Amino acid sequence: MTVGFCSLASGSSGNCHLINDGKKFLLIDAGLSGKQIENKLKEVDVDPQNLSAILVSHEHSDHICGVGILSRRYNIPIYANDGTWAGMERKIGNIKKENIKCFTSNENFSIGDFNIKPYRISHDANEPVGFSIEKDSIKISIATDLGYISEDIMEEIGGSNLVILESNHDEEMLKAGSYPYSLKRRILSNSGHLSNEAAGNAIVDLVSRNVRSILLAHLSRENNFPELAIATVKNILDSKKIIIGKDIELDLVHRDRVSNIYQF
């Protein structure tokens, strides 16, 4: 195995992904309790003491809930940009000075053999980013919590072996649902979340950019369900003569359980 990926959780109740090369173990966000993350790591035979770093995309609670406790418990460095540190510092508790690591958005940095590009995204947070993480010829990109996918983002995640792509909601379910109007407007805005249809259209573009594996992520519990997300994307791909299993591999990750392990 060169690089492995699994999602421990993805959704508004908590987000946490794991990327490793057998030597370095990186958590992308830690939006569950420390105990929940420990238990989920054990499901994939990873000792929390072996965690090398926590990378934080933005300061919303479903991405930082367990950040502080894990850092203190296992002496783990936390990597975030200045805007995210400003938004989360008071929420995560005291962190050792040596574990406070600041990166600059849109500038590469390294952890072990991993080269990491935190690219800017559109979301209602201080300075949100997605991550493209590379080792040798393997590239994994995480593109969630974004209101739309710009050409700059497409260029960043193009060529990835795996893209974790937001497919948050079905627009009709959201519009007809019980959320207050202000929340619906936020989710549908360019600083909100990608719909199933937007994800499908993005995948059409990504196929042309040599992406061959997609995981749909951050599905809403109230305004989506897995079968609908997959069906909506499949219909869009079918209309463009893109064949799942031939032109693109398509799967999804879950709110409440560990995903399959993907190895490259």
CATH code for the domain in which residue 155 is found:
3.60.15.10
Q: Read off the DSSP letter of residue 99.
A: G
User: Which amino acid is present at 7?
Assistant: S
List the domain range (segments joined by +) for residue 98: 4-263
All residues at 6 or more sequence positions from 5 whose CB lies less than 8 Å from its CB, including other chains: 17, 18, 19, 140, 162, 164, 261, 262, 263, 264
Alpha helices (H) along 47-114: 61-64, 67-74, 82-92
- What confidence score (pLDDT) does residue 83 get? 98
pLDDT in tens, 207-241: 999 999 999 999 999 999 999 999 999 999 999 99
Quick one: 193 exposed, middle or buried, by C-beta within 10 A (0-12, 13-18, 19+)?
Answer: buried
- The per-residue pLDDT for 182 is 95
**Model confidence at 1, in pLDDT bands (50, 70, 90)?**
low
Average pLDDT over residues 252-259: 94
**Are 4 and 260 in contact, with CB atoms under 8 Å apart?**
no
User: What is the largest distance, in Å, between two alpha-carbon atoms of the chain?
Assistant: 53
**Residue 68, pLDDT score:** 98
pLDDT above 70 for 9: yes
How do residues 151-184 score in pLDDT, each as one tens digit? Answer: 999 999 999 999 999 999 999 999 999 999 999 9
Give per-residue pLDDT as tens, 21-51: 999 999 999 999 999 999 999 999 999 999 9
Average pLDDT in the 90-114 region? Answer: 98
Count of CB atoms situated within 10 Å of the CB of 78: 25
Residue with tokens 């627009």: 171
Q: What is the pLDDT of residue 86?
A: 98
H/E segment holding residue 90? helix 82-92
Closest CA to 70 of 114, 22, 35: 35
Q: What domain count does the chain have?
A: 1
Residue pLDDT, tens place only, 120-134? 999 999 999 999 999
